[in-house]
């Protein structure tokens, strides 16, 4: 599984990891997204009407109760992380509006077309973001 992400995801992640209340986010991401197969990642709330390119909102329990938005392109075995927000704490909020979901969905399409993405890998339990 190749994991990529948008600028928006990277920015939100970096904002959260600087805050002590959300320091667990890095481990939560590694544990949930890495070394998993497509089936294991195909769960949560599917926001679009597609089995082959599911746009997923995933609740991950933990200190912040994170919500991850990602797109799976099953035939390519690629996962695109679009956005993350905690549900609780000083940077937490309930949900994102449908307009933002649409915007992120549009953005990932544009970024896939233009290769304007970051590859996300793990090294020594740390996430590494590499611009394509």
Partner 1 sequence: MNLFDLIKKAYFYFNISNLQKMDSATYKPQILETFENVRNFSFEEKKEAVMDETKMNKFLDRIIDFKKSLKIKTDKIEEIIESSEKITWFNHLENDSLLIVNDLVSSIRNLHSSLHRQYISLQYIREKGIAKVEMKNFISAIDDLKEIANDLDSRFFFLPNNDEFDKITKELSQI
Shortest approach of partner 1 to residue 1 CB, angstroms? 17
Strands of the sheet containing 118-123, edge to edge, are: 45-46, 55-60, 66-73, 78-85, 2-5, 118-123, 126-131
Shortest approach of partner 1 to residue 131 CB, angstroms? 20
DSSP letter assigned to residue 131: E
2: contact with partner 1 by CB under 8 A: no
Tokens 């904002």 sit on residue: 15
- Give residues 73-132 in contact with partner 1 (rule: CB under 8 A): 73, 87-88, 94-95, 98, 101-102, 105-106, 108-109, 112-113
Contact range with partner 1 by CB under 8 A, out of 3-11, 15-23, 49-57, 118-126 = 49-57
**The one among 57, 63, 116, 122 contacting partner 1 by CB under 8 A:** 57
Mark out the alpha helices in the chain (DSSP H runs): 7-17, 25-33, 38-41, 98-114
């Amino acid at each position: 599984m190749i994991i990529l992400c948008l600028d928006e995801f990277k920015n939100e992640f970096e904002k959260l990891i600087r805050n002590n209340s959300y320091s667990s986010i890095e481990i939560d991401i590694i544990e949930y997204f890495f070394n998993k197969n497509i089936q294991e990642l195909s769960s949560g709330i599917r926001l679009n009407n597609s089995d082959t390119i599911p746009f997923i909102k995933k609740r991950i329990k933990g200190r912040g109760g994170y919500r991850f938005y990602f797109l799976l392109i099953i035939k390519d075995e690629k996962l695109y992380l679009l956005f993350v927000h905690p549900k609780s704490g000083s940077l937490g909020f309930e949900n994102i509006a449908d307009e933002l979901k649409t915007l992120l969905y549009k953005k990932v399409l544009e970024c896939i077309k233009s290769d304007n993405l970051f590859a996300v890998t793990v090294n020594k339990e740390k996430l590494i973001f590499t611009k394509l």
